[in-house]
Amino acid sequence: MEQTSVSTARSPTRTAEILDVLRTDILETRLQPGTRLRFDELRRSYDAGISPLREALMHLASEGLVVSEERRGYRVAPVSEDDLREIAKLRGEFDALAIAESIRRGDELWEGRVIAAFHALQKRSKIGPDGEIDREWEGHHIRFHDALVSECGMPKLMGFRTILDLQARRYRRIAVHYLTAPRDDLAEHRAIRDAVLDRDITESGRLIRAHFMRTVDIILTRQLG
Amino acid sequence: MEQTSVSTARSPTRTAEILDVLRTDILETRLQPGTRLRFDELRRSYDAGISPLREALMHLASEGLVVSEERRGYRVAPVSEDDLREIAKLRGEFDALAIAESIRRGDELWEGRVIAAFHALQKRSKIGPDGEIDREWEGHHIRFHDALVSECGMPKLMGFRTILDLQARRYRRIAVHYLTAPRDDLAEHRAIRDAVLDRDITESGRLIRAHFMRTVDIILTRQLG
DNA sequence: AAGTCAATTATTTTGGAAAATATATCCGGA
DNA sequence: TCCGGATATATTTTCCAAAATAATTGACTT
């Protein structure tokens, strides 16, 4: 499906490889928030030269997953309540905006994609047999939300959105147990789909904002209360 | 005013220096949109090693001022009507959002800063004696808009906003002559100030969106019509 | 003890050469 | 002429060692 291109199986650059594995390690919190990332150590652990490491770290900094101080190296970005709250707020606002544009510009084909993505999501249950969030479900979930915004025609906004998605993923991992809290995801998603198909910008914005905020509220109230 | 720190006059890293001069060259369009940026040439023109050049380019890529293709090097980001339109749209939306939050959270001190910034802006005229946009005015203009959003408490949003500001600055340079077109900036800014001081979120959002959109409309209709 | 300064060690930053890859040129065959 | 592929050239990517800077230690003074 993706690309099994017969001819040129383009080898990624070392930088791209390292970027990927480093990002995963941060998102899965194998590298804890705040950890210093020294080149010497990284060189050993990831078996890489300094240049691609530097470049990968720099890229991660632009995604907000690491922070750097001039001449003092890099650290895994810290986490905080306020940070999580802002991420959720902005995800709501950005998606509300992108959905509004998609409603204005999207045709029946787009509607079809939304319907199909919801259908696929609906068929799977969120929690797998092991009690963890189901990997497949997670994929469908992402694709449903992507479908909603897919006709907004704002590539820069989509770039910002991707960055926030990444950052949110890390918190999701940190708070994974709270995320299995009882919550009627399916009803929320169906309501969003219906508002979108009704081409109701105000309502879909309200729902998508609430959708993102609910997640963070659940995490934070559980962790504090 | 800035920092004339007596003790440690921290020398910036070579990367930071190069980043600065490269960014300026792009913003002032001494490096035209689309231009390929080869390391050999850059090495000569900017008298720098490859490592800091690479890092600077990477950073500029994260700001959207250059684009890179794996193993094919970097180019100055191209410009387009759609690109400009999206920048203007997002600047309107982001600032509307940030102003809304500032209105909710800001105190009298914030109001004072807004009033002061408007006052300073008002005293200067936009077009200098040479017929170009006045440098001083431009500084006050930026500070007025910064004051409006300064209490939003959303650092990530401010980061995104900074990136869009940079990108917009390049278009402003490209279209500099059209920007001196007759337009009652002062009245627009006063209206925004008043809506903010009335703590009217809806109205301030409407005005700030229109403010950004008007600029792009002027540029585009002139260039096409 | 607390503070200063120098010496030592740890770490980041930089330049450039080597390796890997992409692009351009050239040549022969349909 | 146009295509395919081989060769040559141009360019990016990577490694690594040297330089620059920051952090730590310890001796000395008050």
Closest-lying nucleotide for B52 based on CA to C1' = C14
- pLDDT (tens digit per residue) in B90-136: 999 999 999 999 999 999 999 999 999 999 999 998 888 887 888 89
Chain A residues within 8 A of B160 when measuring between CB atoms: 160
Q: What is the distance, to the nearest Å, from the Cα of residue A147 to the centroid of all Cα atoms in its chain?
A: 14
Taking only residues 152 to 181 of chain A, the set having a beta carbon closer than 8 angstroms to any beta carbon of chain B reads 153-157, 160, 164
3-class secondary-structure state, position A168: helix
CATH, residue B220: 1.20.120.530
| Beta pairing, strands A36-37 & A73-76 | antiparallel
The label of the residue with tokens 């900094």 reads A61
A8: in domain: no
Interface check for B85 against chain A (CB to CB < 8 A): the answer is no
Distance in angstroms (rounded) separating the CA atoms of residues B52 and B75 = 17
B91 and B42: one domain? no
- pLDDT (tens digit per residue) in B137-180: 999 999 999 999 999 999 999 999 999 999 999 998 887 666 66
B89 and B141: one domain? yes
Q: Per residue of chain A (225 residues), what is the pLDDT tens digit?
A: 333 333 345 689 999 999 999 999 999 999 999 999 999 999 999 999 999 999 999 999 999 999 999 999 999 999 999 999 999 999 999 999 999 999 999 999 999 999 999 999 999 988 888 877 888 999 999 999 999 999 999 999 999 999 999 999 999 888 766 656 677 889 999 999 999 999 999 999 999 999 999 988 887 876 654
B182 and B120: one domain? yes
B193 and B94: one domain? yes
Distance, angstroms, CA A159 to C1' C10?
38
CB nearest to B58's CB, from A59, A156, A164? A59
A221 touches strand D (CB under 7 A): no
A102 and A152: one domain? yes
A7: in domain: no
B88 and B56: one domain? no
Distance in angstroms (rounded) separating the CA atoms of residues B118 and B132 = 21
Q: B18: domain range?
A: 14-76
A1: in domain: no
Distance in angstroms (rounded) separating the CA atoms of residues B16 and B10 = 12
Chain B residues within 8 A of A14 when measuring between CB atoms: none
A52 touches strand C (CB under 7 A): no
Q: Is B62 in Cβ contact with A59 (below 8 Å)? A: yes
Residue B60 near residue B26 (C-beta atoms within 8 A): yes
- Apex B79 CA angle, B71 and A55, nearest 5: 30
Closest listed residue to residue B150, CA positions, set B105, B120, B185, B193: B105
How many CB atoms within 10 Å of residue A76? 21
